[in-house]
Amino acid sequence: MDKNPLAVDLCKVALWLEAHNPGEPLNFLDHHIKCGDAIVGLAHKEELEKGIPDEAFKKMPDDDKNIRAQFAKQNRKQRATACKREFFYRHSQFSRVEQSFADVSQIFSSFNALPETSINQIQEKRTTYQTMISGENWRLLKSLCDIQTAQFFIPKTLENSGAIVTDDMFRQYMSGIRISADGLSAAAGMARKNRFFHWFLEFPEVFAKGGFDCILGNPPFLGGQKLSGMFGQRFLEYVKYAYAPAGSCDLVTYFFRRIFTIIRPGGFQALISTNTIAQGAAREGGLAVILSQGGAIHFAVRSMKWPGLAAVEVSLVGIYRGKWNGLCNLNGKPVAQITFYLDDAEITGNPYPLIQNADKSFQGSIVLGKGFVLEPHEAMNLIEKNPKNKDVLFPYLNGEDLNTSPDQSPSRWVINFFDWPEEKCREEYRDCFEIVEWLVKPERQLLKNNPDGIRRKKNWWLYGRNPISLYRTIEPLERVLLIAQVSKTVAVDFTINDKVLDAKLVVFSLDRYKDFSILQSSFHYNWAWKYCTTMKADLSYTPTAIFQTLPFPQNPSWETEFALERIGATYHENRRRLMRNAQIGLTKTYNQFHNPRLFAIDDDLPEKEIEKQFGKETLYLWNHLHRTLGTCNFNQAVADIAHLRRLHQEMDETVLNAYGWTDICLAHDFYEVDYLPENDRIRYTISPTARKEILNRLLKLNHEIHKREMQEGEAFEAESQKIHPMDDERQLSLFDN
């Protein structure tokens, strides 16, 4: 089935070409190949018992405020008293639905047995099918399903008042009391426009037996933030309700959920997905829910390049509905189980945000306006013209500068008016203010009229988002640690605290080498790759999912902290010297760090031979060093990178000791890692066995710390109640306030 009518017709043609028997007519396929929206509509007849949900009356931009509020209040009141009529409803309503479905499924089963070996038989089958889907029982069920679904899509306006159906009206129609013609026609119109698809009604003979045996598919991918733009806000609110607890996530997530509900117990689904299916909101609203509802992942390829032209990484996922007793296949290897992270971790569950990590990680400033950004010479001219302008002119560091510049220096400057009022900025910094007024203000006026857009239009001289809490938190620090939000290196570094930090940076209010050691270690690297989301093949660093959940070593001794400080300082200084001498940034440094074919080379070896023997990455470094003035020679760079690997190994061992897990053998070497694209999987890192064990222990430690923090919080609250007891009257007064 497909939402596109042309795709449905092409499917029929393809099947006729492939399976046509010479001398016989083309088969009738309308009852097997359907057109509709696979995720908008009902899966099972039992969903009709839910009536009209209150979520159908959630406020939308095109609603009339008063009309919507009136119907929302009416529906809530009706649903609140529905329990008093439950026996009547089940007796008079759903028995009617059950009987109608039984009649329809019996007719469809008989229909499937009709012969189709002649043109007359094909025509008779087509006529019979049209009669079936226009019969009274089928039309009753179709109307009920359409009415329930349509309430999410009908604008709550005065002209639509007669077409809106609330819970009591819907249940009366189920009981045999006719609904208004306006309500029926509006629902039917919405169903045609949006191609509502009710699975149990379209394939009644399948659902009479519990659902499909197997479903294969390549569902569409579309990022959660783009759904409302593509399909409208009403579509987004519908799927968020229908597939709760899924929120705004990739479109493919809703297909995973829908398909799982329409396969029978003991059935299979096997789907191609974007590789974000095991990440973030898609994982929480998709695979995690499916496994909690009795599904089991028995086959998965975590990440592979799409074989076509599209530059996208995909996952392959096979799911069984029930308890899977056999071996599972993960990335081509047998494993005992596959989790909703598409790994075989022994300890399952999600990590918790930890109180001890709160208020230590931040996203940088969303400038939102090219007019704020200046070339260095432009900033210097403004300062020379009026030294006071230095108050609002700062170096501007972004993720690209951090990862590509050998010394992580900002390539541009930026105007920053903090959270100051317009009058102060205009009067005291006229030169800078006029630049922003001329270049930024017109851009801001083009923003949408949503709450953020309206605020940003009104405060056009201020950044789109300027995290004042970030700059206040790091103000006492001379330097801070930071990481590019999107990268494949997960490389952290320090920067002097005199800059505006871009939104594509994640900033940590940490300034010690011991913190650098942990965040640059393989522990943080692997934790980040497990709990991140990805952008194409790169890691997208989300502080809430990665840093706030990362359990740091607990109560380390001063000897341990000293060891972390020492190795962190040594590693950082050697890496800094290497990048300066070779004139390469963090990304290029770690490309060579993970290059297994990087060796010393004779100076007289031809370029073609270098590429043949040592690969393109090695050739890049060779050419760069030979063509860039002031750099070290190639073999010196090779030796420095080998030394950095040894320091990284020492740093990982020091972090391992800090956690007290000295029984783990890290076994550093070059390994293929399954969480990266097929063509770029070799990394110098800890062994897969060590990685698995460390991730298990980190998750266990996270759960232990979270449990302790919750217990301490409860104890503190109980103690506070003893110190400041409240009488009932004071509590009620506070509640009222």
How far is it, in rounded angstroms, from Cα 483 to Cα 489?
A: 10
pLDDT score of 735: 39
Closest CA to 46 of 190, 200, 189: 200
Peptide bond into 245 cis (omega under 30): yes
Rounded distance between C-alpha atoms, residue 77 and residue 542, angstroms: 41
Distance (Å, rounded) from C-alpha 101 to C-alpha 204?
7
Which residue in the block uniquely carries the two structure tokens 């011991």? 514
Whole-angstrom distance, CA of residue 696 vs CA of residue 601: 41
Instruction: Look up residue 376 and give its amino acid.
Output: P
* Residue labelled with tokens 């990982």: 652
Cβ-contact 505, 361 below 8 angstroms? no
Give CA–CA dist 707/352, Å, rounded: 10
pLDDT value at residue 426: 96
Assess if CATH 3.40.50.10490 describes domain 210-344. Answer: no
pLDDT given for residue 725 in this prediction: 56
Q: How far is CA 495 from the centre of its chain?
A: 29
Which residue has 């929480």 as its token pair?
Answer: 284
CA distance linking residue 626 with residue 630, whole number of Å: 10
Q: Which residues contact 114 (CB under 8 A, 6 or more apart)?
A: 121, 124, 125, 128
Q: Are 213 and 264 in contact (CB under 8 A)?
A: yes
| Antiparallel, parallel or unpaired: β 295-305 and 328-330 | parallel
Q: Where are the beta strands (DSSP E) in 609-711?
A: 669-672, 682-685
Pairing of strands 393-397, 500-501: parallel
3-class SS at 663? coil
Token pair recorded at residue 223 = 């990022």
DSSP 277: G
Low-confidence ranges of the chain (pLDDT < 70): 83-94, 721-737
- Tell me the three state secondary structure of residue 694: helix
Residues 494, 499, 500, 501: what is their CA dihedral angle, to the nearest 10 degrees?
A: -10
What pLDDT is recorded for position 22?
Answer: 84
Q: Please state, in angstroms and rounded to a whole number, the distance separating the CA atoms of residues 648 and 636.
A: 18
pLDDT for 729 equals 47
Domain boundaries, the chain: 1-208, 210-344, 372-462, 484-706
Contact 567, 521 (CB under 8 A): no
Distance CA 415, CA 363 (A): 19
358 and 508 Cβ atoms separated by less than 8 Å: no
